Amino acid sequence: MSSKLTLPFIFSALIFLIHLNFSSGQTVVKAAYWFPDSGFPAASINSSLFTHLFCAFADLNATTYQVTVSSSNSAPFSSFTQTVQRKNPSVKTLLSIGGGNSNPATFAAMASQATRRKAFINSSITLARSYNFHGLDLDWEYPSSTTEMTNFGTLLTEWRTAAANESKTTGKTALLLAAAVFRSADYYSINYPFQSISNSLDWINVMAYDFYGPGWFPNNTAPPAALSASSVNGDAGITSWIKAGLAPKKIVLGLPFYGYAWRLLDANNHGIFAPANGSGIGTYGDQGYSQIKDFISQNAARTVYNATFVTNYCYSGKTWIGYDDTQSISAKVSYAKTTKGLLGYFAWHVGADSSNWALSQAAISMEFRSISYLIIPFIFLVSCSSAQTWIRAGYWYAGSQSPIPEINSALFTHLICGFADVNSSTYQLSIPSAHVQYFSSFTDIVKRKNPSTITLLSIWNGLAERRRAKLGGENANFSVMSSMLEKPSNRKSFIESSIKMARRYGFQGIDLNWLWPNEASDMINIGKLLDEWRAAVTYESRNSSQSRLMLIMAVRYLPAFESLIYPIESMKRNLDWAHVVAYDYHLSSKENFTGGHAALYDPLSHVNTDYGIRQWFNYSFPASKLVLGLAYHGYAWTLANPEDNNGIGAPASGIAVTQDGSVNYKYIKWYTRSYRAPIVYNATYVVNYCVIGSSWVGFDDVEAIRAKIAYAKEKKLLGTNVFQVNNDDENWALSRAAQEEGNGHENKRRLLLIILLPITSIVILIAIVVCYLQREPLKTRGTMILGNSRASDPSNLQVFSFSKIKAATNKFSSENKLGEGGFGPVYKGKLQTGQEIAVKRLSKTSTQGLEEFGNEVTLTATLQHVNLARVLGFCSEKEEKMLIYEYMPNKSLDFYLFDPTRQYLLDWRKRVHIIEGVTQGLLYLQEYSNFTIIHRDLKASNILLDNEMNAKISDFGMAKLFGKDELEGNTSRIVGTYGYVPPEYVKKGIYSMKYDVYSFGVLLLQMISGRKSTCYYGPNESQHLLEYAYTSWKEDKGPEFIDPSLDDSSTSFKLLRCLQVALLCVQENPDDRPTMLEVYSMLKTDTQAVPIPTKTAFSGKSDRDKESVSTSQKGSCSVNDAQISELQPR
């Protein structure tokens, strides 16, 4: 079976298997607490990472026993729900009552009497409703007697009854009820009321943290929230709750986004439970995660992950901090989801996370790990067939005078042009005037032989400083780089000029080649520089629509040296790779014995490449971001006793051959040929050397290069980087050897692929058959019961049988047919439970097919938003492809918008409501979901309306999914709907977020005018909708374009403002169009200035598309929503 056929087959099969797995899933609770005193604004919460957010804390009045909110908290509490729902409208909010600083005696007194409990319950429900919360959370820390536990159970029972009664009376969705509880099912041998908790609460938040802290455990360091191994641990607590009879789906695991600092008695004894003497920072030692990361960066602290305890810790000097980092957070979420089957997790507290939401991202990344047994084989095969590119990089130095055209760029994936200098006053980059001609032509010339070669601009400290750093000696911080790093303004000047220079000369990345930082402040400031540099190149890429510039850096062979440590975490976050300068270990100008200056191993010393690489691994730097440096040069010594001792380590009396003893490979090969000197390969050190008279030259020949490539492959490094390519000989012997050795490993990989692909295909085929045959038993277990879907669980896709859908639609009768689109007919159905559904059935004559079907199933399984249509499930029996949606009683927007009678049912207020809904849906797709999603078919007929006329974007069959760092894509298969497709897509097949902005602009023009996009208007009916709108606005005749029946006097959404915003969205150049965030801001804020639109994009008129239309719709029209099936771009 060919790989072209096999891989799509495997992928389609995996989609099927994955959705069988999803159909039995339950929504995971991904929650976090927020409180105003944290100093973290609610508006800054990335609510797209959470399903539930707790607003903490409301107070319990000790006299009236009513729940109250302090005057200082009233404003942030009242706006909390609206604020966090801007980024994620589907997030649920809960008001939390009590907390660790509240008086537990007040709660005990409240729970002891029925009248007091009633006062608490009624006031809590009233307060939650008045502040628009979706639920309530009780944080009573803790009931401490058997009587208090009994009363706690009574309180919960009455609370649930009251909440249910309130829901029935008001018709509102019942409030969620949760409670924070102790780490174990008993509070120091006093059992919680399990039955009341099970019957009354939606879930409990188990506070699996604060096990140890310097305030109550001062004499030893300890893991504050260990999952296992420790005498007090999270697993023991969770297990006790389950053994007590509480269902795992009622349990939510607590995750601390903070830690505690101890002061070590001995800085050299720094493990878990090391002797300590109280708090290491402040009075109590508590530190938020972002503070801990700052401590690590500023103090070059050593970080450790202990998998036995499932905890992280760091230390610097006598300060030791125990905390949870991404490794322990990921492990705990995996434990909750996979090992224990819990409902989810919550974090205390959201404001303590890092600026890039590292912990929250780590937690959410585990959400779909439970299906890894299905996708790991596929990932392995894909990695075999399309493995990460093996980097073959190399430096070219302009000062070498070696002509650029002579570079054999076919042998390299990346070429680095060196070097730009840093101005000591402005800290901007400059290039020596004599070298400008080389930099300006470098990319163009090397791409002639190899268009895929990526070029990078390298920045150094200057030739003199490089030589001084290389030779050592002074310890003073003489570097211009050090001065540049000291101040934010200096770093900004450096960063901006580096990006500008790279773009000017057509480079695709930037390399920092600083040999070497020599103070602790240098290392700390490098970390800051990399954070700022990465942010700047990302911002520049988004605003310029160019691919993001790569960032790489040269580093020493050791991550820690002379009491200095590289900023590992910052490097991991921000660099595409770090290339290890694995050479110049021994120099003839410094040492009086011969040495392998680039030795891979050294049995007598740690000064060797293997030791250095292992040290980088020990400091948790990933192999996938390490590139091994290769030297195309060597060093020559004068032997002291050439006749007696001429091996590695032989006595020498200084340099030979050249002024500084350095010799390039090209010269070495000429030298050995001229004197017919034998070349020795030493496999112990993995070096070559030759002896000519009293001269001894150590270098790397093809044997050493091949061995190092094999080593790099074995260690799973990213690749190799040569210094420098123009030192190779005229036949490119070293570079060809490197390429051949690398290709040898790739050939083995391909052979493995050829063997495994057919085997894996057969295994997956068998799995499909087994899963298919087991569908009925799965249904009987209640995981895929037809017609019993949970409306509160939007990701619970069901697999429907053909017979059930046939019965629900009355055998697909014409009376049940709602309409027909590009996919096929849509039928109304009714399940046996009474639930109404809409069934979209793929037509055999449709231009859409398996790709669109799979696309919609895949995306809608993971997308959750109130303004996106929800797919309940799918059917793929008997060669059928059907999608089952929730039924929308008010049909779609086009049903009203273009009908001469029904359009009057949509007054301007209702249209504004729909516009806002569509805007929110697009914001979710483009900004707030985990991926960027381009819909590519946004139009009136794909905007469904529920019973309250809420807009729901539907039909994701043509959608495309991007990673967050991708800006655009390209296709040769053009699909979409005439009138809604932007010009860059039709002409070049380019699609980006600005595609949907364009479609939204067309839709907005239709909403304010009631006109179709495929009609012609204006004088002699010669203008397309967009042209007519632009002309009307340009000539101050906007009111003539707008539907005269619409009245905007009672809303801030003004019709003429909407016209101008719509015209901005449909401009011909996609770069000129606003983002959806900017659109939303312009529409919502009537005081914000709206830019002047340029002339819009519009299509020429086609006679064949003309069709008569009702006289109430002025102009000549073609069939609305005509589908583009497939078109090759010009």
Is residue 148 among the annotated active site residues? no
633 close to 663: Cβ distance less than 8 angstroms: yes
Q: Which of 815, 869, 817, 823 is nearest to 845 (CA)?
A: 823
| Alpha carbon distance 1130, 1123 (integer Å) | 19
Token pair belonging to 321? 């901090």
In angstroms, the Cα distances linking 948 to 227, 834, 910, 944, 1003 are 47, 20, 10, 11, 20
Q: Check: CB of residue 508 under 8 Å from CB of residue 416.
A: no
Peptide bond into 57 cis (omega under 30): yes
Identify the CA nearest to 264 among candidates 218, 216, 201. Answer: 218
* Rounded CA Rg of the chain: 34
CA distance 654 to 644: 17
Structure tokens at 171: 């018709």
CA atoms within 13 A on the CB side of 26: 12
DSSP state of 275: B
Q: Which of 284, 269, 272 minimizes the C-alpha distance to 317?
A: 269
- Return d(Cα 60, Cα 57) in angstroms, integer: 10
Q: Which two tokens stand for residue 421?
A: 């200098």
Q: Which position among 141, 532, 703, 927 bears the catalytic label?
A: 141
Residue 900 CB neighbour total at 10 angstroms:
12
DSSP annotation of 733 reads H
- Check the CA dihedral 541-546-547-549 and report its sign: negative
Contact assessment for residue 1073 and residue 999, using Cβ atoms and an 8 Å cutoff: no
- Comparing C-alpha atoms, which of 441, 442, 419, 440 is closest to residue 431? 419
Cα–Cα distance for residue pair 111/832, rounded to 1 Å: 45
CB 131 within 8 A of CB 81: yes
Torsion angle defined by CA atoms of residues 443, 448, 450 and 455, in that order, rounded to the nearest 10 degrees: 0
What one-character-per-residue DSSP string does 196-264 give? HHHHH-SEEEE----S--TTT-TTB---TT-SSSSSS-HHHHHHHHHHTT--GGGEEEEEESEEEEEEE
Structure tokens given for 737? 């050897």
Q: What is the residue-wise DSSP string for 134-166?
A: SEEEEE-S---SHHHHHHHHHHHHHHHHHHHHH
Q: Position 189: which residue type?
A: S
Strands 319-323, 258-264: pairing is antiparallel
Q: With contact defined as beta carbons under 8 Å apart, do 431 and 441 qualify? A: no
Distances (CA, A) of 584 to 314, 629, 783: 33, 11, 64
Residue 573 CA to residue 527 CA, distance in Å, equals 10
Q: What is the C-alpha separation between 780 and 153, in angstroms, rounded?
A: 34
3-state secondary structure of 19: helix
Q: How many CB atoms lie within 10 A of CB 969?
A: 14
- What is the 8-class DSSP label of residue 190? E
Whole-Å CA distances, 125 to 66, 108, 165, 167, 196: 11, 20, 11, 10, 19
Catalytic residues: 141
